[in-house]
Amino acid sequence: MKKYKLILIMSLCSVLFCETKIGYIDSQVIMAEYEDVKQVQVQLEKEQKRLEALYKKSIASYDSLNQAIQTGSIIWSQEKKSQMETQLLGKQKEIEEFQLKYFGPQGELYKMQERLLQPILKVIDQAIQNVGSERGYDYIFDAVQGSIVYALDSNNLTLDILEELKKLNIQKEDN
């Protein structure tokens, strides 16, 4: 009897899955091959090189000041030595702030990338939506990120879940 139930359940599942059309994309390949993304990457690399040159210049200035302190501290007064060390700490802080401002997680380089890629990502999303609807896919997954990038609205259960939550809350209040 258990064997027949298992066969029945497997048959139902296979019928249900046969009707569902699932596809996937590799977003890394899309980003690597799409010409507009390549152009943005060139712009970002130019900006990064410019910022790195400024950073290296700041580091060189810091190193030079540090070297001057090392060699001059023997003959300087305590006041002059303290003044130079304060200046060195200021340069160090300046370098750290530069790193955060331009290369940090919310830095200018990141913001520039986001700003330049946003319209391209909209076009890529539109292409995914077009392919999904034209070819009759129920779902399209991104194999790299493991997320759904396209789904038929008829498969969206969000409103059903919200209704069920309301029902459960009413039942909870009644008890």
pTM: 0.67
The domain in which residue 142 lies consists of 22-163
In a domain, 153, yes or no: yes
In a domain, 125, yes or no: yes
* CB crowding 60-82: b at 16 or more within 10 Å, else e: eebeebeeebeeeeeeeeeeeee
Low-confidence ranges of the chain (pLDDT < 50): 2-8, 10-15
In a domain, 170, yes or no: no
CA angle 87, 90, 93 (to 5 degrees): 155
Query: What is the model's pLDDT at position 74?
Result: 84
In a domain, 171, yes or no: no
In a domain, 2, yes or no: no
In a domain, 124, yes or no: yes
In a domain, 97, yes or no: yes
Query: What is the model's pLDDT at position 31?
Result: 92
In a domain, 81, yes or no: yes
Domain count, the chain: 1
